[in-house]
Each structure stands twice: as C-alpha cells, then as structure tokens.
Amino acid sequence: MKRSPITGRLVTTLVAAGLTASACSGAPAADDGTFTVWDPYPQFDNSSDWVKVIEQCGTKAGVKITRQGYDTTDLTNKVLLAAQQGAAPNVLVVDNPVVSTLAGAGVLKSNKDSGLDASSAAPNLVAAAKTGGQTYGVPIGANTLALYYNKAVLTAAGVDPAAIKDWAGLDAALAKVTAAGKKGITFSAIGTEEGTFQFLPWFWGAGAELTDLSSADASAALELWKSWLDKKYAPNSVINNTQTTSWQEFATGEYAFAENGTWQLQNAEKAGFEYGVIPIPSRTGGVAPAPTGGEFVTVPDQGNSDAEAKAAKIADCLTAPKNVLTTDTALTYVSAVESVQKQQVSKAADFKVWVDAVSSARGRTSDGLGTRYPRISEQLWKAMQAALTGSKSPKDALSDAQTAAAKAK
C-alpha cells in the first residue's frame, strides 16, 4: 500500500524513537463534534483553573472539549502514534523542543496554514517553534534557569550577590564561601537532556554555539565546571544529579548557590532559610542566555481545514493575555506576553529576575537546528560526563563530541 508523505515521515520518526504503531489506541474520535485537547499537565484535574480555561475556550468556539493530560515523554510518544493512525488531538500543548520534531514528521499545521497567531509572544520564545521557514504554535509561557542563593551563607562569607556580574566574580564568591566552611554550588550535570539544559547558560555565556562543540569558547565553559569540582566548589554528586536531587542538596542549607528554575520557587519558600535569585552571569559580564523551557499550544493536522481553523481559535483563546495569566501563575511560568509579564512583576517584584532571564533566553532548537538538536545535545552531555569524571580533558571531550555530532547528521 502506498503511504502518504506524512505517514512516511511519521513511520521514520517512530522507528527512530523505538516505537511501534500498535502501541497506541488513538485519540477519541471527533465525529460527534467533540474536540480533543492533550497537554503535559496530568497534575491538573477538572476543578483546576487550567481545565476551566480550556472549557471556556471550547464554549467560545462552539464545541465541546475532551481534555487529557499526560506526562511529557508519554505525550510525545502518544501524539506520534495517534497521528500515524489519523487520530491526533485537535489541540496539542507540547514541550518546546518537541515542536520541530512533530513539525518535521508532518504532525503539526504551520501557523500560516491554521491561522494561529503568535504575534503577541516574545520573538526569542517563538523562535523555538520555527523550522523550515514556518512557525508552529504559540508559547503558553516559559521557564528558564538562574542561580538561587542562600542569604545566610553569603552573608557569613562576606559575599554580596549583587556584585556577581561575571565568572570571575562568581569564582571569587565560591572561594570565600568554601573558605568560610560552607559548600559552594550545586547543579545537574547528569548524562541526559537535563544535564545539557543546565550546561547551556555557561556554554552560550562563553560565546559558544551548538554548531561547533569543539570551539575554544565551548572548552572554556566545560573547564569552568571541571575547575569547580577540582577546587571542591561543587560536589562530585553533580555528575549524577538531576535538577530535583540538585535542589535537594541546596535545600539542606549548606550550599551558597544552586542552578535551578522557576519551578522550584514554591520549594524555595518552604526551604526554611532566606533565599534570593540572581541571573546566571556570562563569562565577561551580563546575563547569560539560558535555554527556554515551557510548552507551545499547537494545531495538529486533521486533514480538515474547517476543524483546524476552529482548533486554532481554541489555541488562540488559550494563549490570550486575559486567560494566560492564570495559567502561567499556576505553572510558575513567565508569560510569553510582555503585558502579562508586567502584571506578574507588579504582583511579585522578585519575579523580575525571572522575567529578565527569560528575555535573554534562547530556544534549544533555535538557529535552524530543529531536529538536529537532540543529536547535538546527546554528544554534549557525553562530553560533559567524560570531562567531569576525568576520563578526557574538556578540550578532547568536546572535540570528540563535535566529530560524533557531525556524523549523526
């Protein structure tokens, strides 16, 4: 049987992901006029503000909505398989690095084709959904990384966090903290996407680019991390730390700094000590570009332009400023819309650090990387692991990573 171009691309993507079509039962049929919305927020039930907004947007569009929440990884797999069976959801909320993969597999409609409007969202956030000259979806919000600090630890060591503007200033602060008998900094360098995510602010902050892992700038960033382990500024546990276990170390109250994201703000309030947040500094000064986290609201291909246009209206409603403030607050996200960001800061002045960090952030799949990013990221985290464990020098590890990434194209 002859396959359509979309089906062919999907099968290739499914095989690459180690999936089979028989593993999915498919999305609910929409023959009765019901529209389906899938999202990565299984923690929200029908009484949540998020689900209420979905229902309101369905009512506004004149349709009944069935919503299903999945874990992030599970969601990607289910969407690919459902689309292969012609049963993709009408509206899909999906993690931003996955957008280019789904677009490349033919799962998503471009904004140009669906009528979805991303013009109110910040361009640096929208960039994560650009591939092949088209944009797919609208960011519902964003999170990123910064440095949490323990106020008591820094005060005892005589460190002013506001004076930390570059790597040299951070190194000097770590030296004072450890000399005072406390621990320096904890982060996640695990051999997964989490490790790459945490390394990118230092990588980009050194001036490096993902198209050249073997550059001198890239080596400088990895040498910085390795020096922290060698000087005992950071524990060896970072090699296996997830962002969760790294946070647990910081929550002991023994560490001066922890690299982590907005999603830890509620935990920070419960930590039992005063904390603050500063942006991750670039090597020579200024705010380092951190990778954007967060999801996009997208319109999957239905083979029906009328259904796709109605789905785009639902998606536009979900990302409208008057609706998204509630959602972003619940998700601890920085809004993608400037006017909403101002509302967030007016309610919590300390949130401005995160707004500034998101304003300087970059999409991992931006700069035309698209579906190449996962292959590059894998080689980068392997290089990190090799350098931090001492099996290779940072320079050699990154040189090998670049060679492997080039072959994986």
Structure tokens at 227: 């020096």
Q: What is the mean pLDDT of residues 227-247?
A: 97
Q: Is 185 helix (H, G, I), strand (E, B) or coil?
A: strand
Write out the CATH class of domain 145-291+369-407.
alpha beta
Please report which confidence band the pLDDT of residue 145 belongs to, taking 50, 70 and 90 as the band edges.
Answer: very high
pTM: 0.84
The set of residues, in sequence order, having a beta carbon less than 8 Å from that of 398 and lying 6+ positions away, is 213, 214, 215, 218, 219, 222, 383, 387
Instruction: Cite the residue boundaries of each domain of the chain with CATH code 3.40.190.10.
Output: 5-142+293-352, 145-291+369-407
Place of tokens 């292969």: 84
Q: What b/e readout covers 191-220, taking b as 16+ CB neighbours within 10 angstroms?
A: bebbbbbbbbbbbbbbebebeebbbeebbb
The pLDDT of 197-218, averaged and rounded, is 97
Predicted pLDDT at 28: 41
Level-2 CATH architecture, domain 5-142+293-352: 3-Layer(aba) Sandwich (3.40)
**When comparing pLDDT for 2 and 144, which is higher?**
144
Give the Cα separation of 285 and 258 in Å (integer). 19
The number of beta carbons lying within 10 Å of the beta carbon of residue 127 is: 19
Across-strand partners of 91? 37
Surface-to-core class of residue 52, CB atoms within 10 Å of its CB (0-12 exposed, 13-18 middle, 19+ buried): middle
Q: What is the pLDDT of residues 48-85, one digit of tens each?
A: 999 999 999 999 999 999 999 998 878 989 999 999 99
Q: What is the pLDDT of residues 244-255, one digit of tens each?
A: 999 999 999 999
Q: Which ranges of 161-304 does DSSP label H, i.e. alpha helix?
A: 167-179, 193-205, 216-230, 243-250, 265-269
Listed ranges 13-22, 226-235, 260-269; the one with the highest mean pLDDT: 226-235
Token pair 């800061």 is at which residue? 345
pLDDT by residue (tens digit) across 336-386?
999 999 999 999 888 999 999 999 999 998 888 888 999 999 999 999 999
Q: What is the distance, to the nearest Å, from the Cα of residue 321 to the centroid of all Cα atoms in its chain?
A: 21
